[in-house]
Structure 1
């Protein structure tokens, strides 16, 4: 720890005081302290709002991807229905090989539709949750208001 040595002008003795320890002339006034608290609270709220914005952007991105996956699932479902209808037509008109192959392809398309739809729903659920930073900003504002009333 760095110490600064002070010499008393009346007695000539040396004393030491740690650097950074406020003497009577260095103590901050109450007005300065209130100003610092106000500035720090303002910075805290701005930082929390920036964090909330970043979280909302991330959630919007996930929601967009989820919606895209759902749309892809719907497109595949439309083709699957067409293939299954074709399989039914071939099944009625011919024997085993043609309609069975169409039925297998249609079943595979339905399986893919299910997987994509479940993935899209999961991403949409994650994207619609309230960000944690929104609650933290509300808590900060409440704390500041309570502190000002004391």
Structure 2
């Protein structure tokens, strides 16, 4: 078959004397094959990136847990430092009160931010689309 293809080619490398339908079928087959190869390549690339993202997420999770332990030790050090100038129970109570106050403030701020996001609809985009429809209607009535 390879020899036949060589015989069918003109000196400049183009196929000659082949019906257009056959050439179009060959082109279609080649485009299909190329698309399938591109899809396989994309699938392979996404699989590799997914594995890398999974490893990264695992490392980030490990870092978060380690940081949490570090914060716990730091808080214990603060309690121990305060215990040098007051009873230990009072030092622990003060540190706990500060932490709970910070948590309450963050909770209120988070709740306010969440309320601004609900309902989750693109209000500006909807408004913009309404204006676009209005402009199109106005132009349609004028013509």
TM interval, shorter chain, is 0.3 to 0.5
Give the number of the structure with larger relative contact order, counting CA–CA contacts within 8 Å between residues 6 or more apart.
1
Query: With structure 1 as the length reference, what TM-score do the two structures score?
Result: 0.44
Question: TM-score, normalising length from structure 2?
Answer: 0.46
More helix by share: 2
